[in-house]
């Protein structure tokens, strides 16, 4: 009788153990899938989540920043990259990729991801809101810092955003993020949520400034972000400014030159943005844009080994796409 009762109990215990292992394996597989990151096989893109002109909030008649006509397909083949590790050339009106080279390869993208930071700051609105500088804003954001701002001083969200996009100051990016979301961690969550909404399938951000961290994006994903920045009425004039005079709390003016040297290069008056970036992990990077005769283009160049190379490569693709 005892043996009759023990046998079924042993069977039941064995089934429970087997199910437990199965459940654990399932959880581990799910966790691994959710943390697929830098260096792993990138996801394949479907159609780019444009054309922006088909989205109600980006209707061309309601937003004069949208190009009036799409880019023509260039009559000549795209030039091969000489220095870049990844390239994406995109039409900001239609979202069509005119040329891609390793465009879905996951990489660090350095300060070009400040474009994402700018989009999230604009989502918060109230550009006249005063940001109070805190001591933590100047910590752990070397080497590019705006050292002229001091703890306790106040600056508008608009002036801080312009300083970040013109001078690429990491402590300004951190201060914006902290003020907008309450903490860097909360702001990064907004960055990643916005990336998902924009169908940036191969991106994950860990900070608002682009210094090395457990994060990645791709040339194509950053081109998508750039297309949204291109039609943003707050960001668009900021990324086109070759120079900015930042008025400090003391009244002194801190002059800043844009790190994108294409904005002031003779013969490229039609170039109107966007953002440089550099770290040892990412190499030299540049998101650039241009507009001519009602058409526009966004060019993302990532992973050059020397600074001048990003300007050479970017100009080459800007001219090719625009037929200049």
Mean pLDDT of the chain: 84
Residue 40 pLDDT class (50, 70, 90 cuts): very low
Residue 137 pLDDT class (50, 70, 90 cuts): confident
CA distances 84 to 102, 143, 215, 301, Å, are 10, 24, 20, 6
For β-strands 97-101 and 86-90, DSSP reports them as: antiparallel
Please report the pLDDT score of residue 19 as a whole number: 39
Residue with tokens 């400014």: 241
Q: Where is pLDDT greater, at 62 or 300? A: 300
Q: Where are the beta strands (DSSP E) in the chain?
A: 86-90, 97-101, 130-132, 154-156, 243-247, 253-257, 271-279, 283-292, 295-304
Q: Is the pLDDT of residue 294 over 50?
A: yes
pLDDT tens digits, 221-263: 999 999 999 999 999 999 999 999 999 999 999 999 999 999 9
- CA 136, chain centre distance (Å): 23
Within 8 A by CB and 6+ apart from 192, the residues are 203, 204, 205
Query: Which ranges of 198-233 does DSSP label H, i.e. alpha helix?
Result: 219-230
Q: How many CB atoms lie within 10 A of CB 135?
A: 9
Within 8 A by CB and 6+ apart from 307, the residues are 278, 284
Q: How many CB atoms lie within 10 A of CB 164?
A: 27
Please report the pLDDT score of residue 140 as a whole number: 61
Mean pLDDT, to the nearest integer, of 197-206? 96
For β-strands 243-247 and 154-156, DSSP reports them as: unpaired
The radius of gyration computed from the CA coordinates of the chain, to the nearest angstrom, equals 23
User: What sign has the CA pseudo-torsion 302, 306, 310, 316?
Assistant: negative
pLDDT tens digits, 166-198: 999 999 999 999 999 999 999 999 999 999 999
Residue with tokens 């994903």: 221
Residue 62 pLDDT class (50, 70, 90 cuts): low
């Amino acid at each position: 009788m005892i043996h009759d009762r023990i046998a079924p109990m042993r069977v039941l215990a064995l089934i429970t153990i087997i199910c437990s292992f199965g459940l654990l394996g399932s959880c581990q597989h799910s966790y691994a899938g959710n943390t697929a990151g830098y260096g792993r096989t990138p996801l394949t893109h479907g159609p780019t989540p444009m054309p922006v002109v088909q989205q109600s909030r980006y209707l061309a008649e309601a937003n004069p920043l949208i190009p009036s006509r799409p880019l023509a397909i260039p009559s000549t083949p795209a030039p091969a990259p000489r220095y870049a590790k990844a390239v994406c050339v995109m039409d900001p009106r239609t979202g069509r990729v005119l040329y891609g080279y390793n465009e879905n390869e996951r990489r660090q993208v350095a300060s070009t991801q400040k474009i994402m930071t700018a989009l999230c700051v604009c989502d918060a609105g109230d550009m006249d809101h005063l940001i109070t500088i805190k001591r933590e804003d100047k910590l752990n954001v070397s080497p590019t810092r705006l050292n002229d701002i001091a703890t306790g001083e106040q600056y508008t969200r608009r002036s801080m955003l312009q300083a970040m996009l013109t001078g690429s100051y990491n402590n300004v990016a951190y201060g914006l993020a902290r003020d907008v979301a309450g903490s860097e961690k909360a702001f990064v969550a907004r960055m990643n949520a916005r990336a998902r909404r924009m169908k940036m399938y191969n991106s994950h951000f860990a900070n608002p400034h682009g210094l090395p961290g457990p994060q990645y994006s791709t040339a194509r994903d950053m081109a998508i972000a750039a297309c949204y920045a291109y039609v943003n009425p707050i960001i668009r004039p900021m990324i086109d400014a070759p120079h900015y005079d930042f008025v400090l709390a003391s009244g002194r003016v801190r002059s800043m030159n844009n790190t994108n040297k294409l904005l002031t290069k003779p013969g490229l008056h039609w170039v109107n943005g966007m953002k440089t970036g550099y770290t040892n992990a990412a190499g030299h990077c540049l998101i650039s844009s241009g507009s001519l005769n009602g058409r526009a283009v966004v060019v993302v160049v990532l992973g050059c080994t020397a600074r001048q190379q990003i300007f050479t490569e970017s100009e080459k693709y800007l001219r090719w796409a625009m037929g200049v």
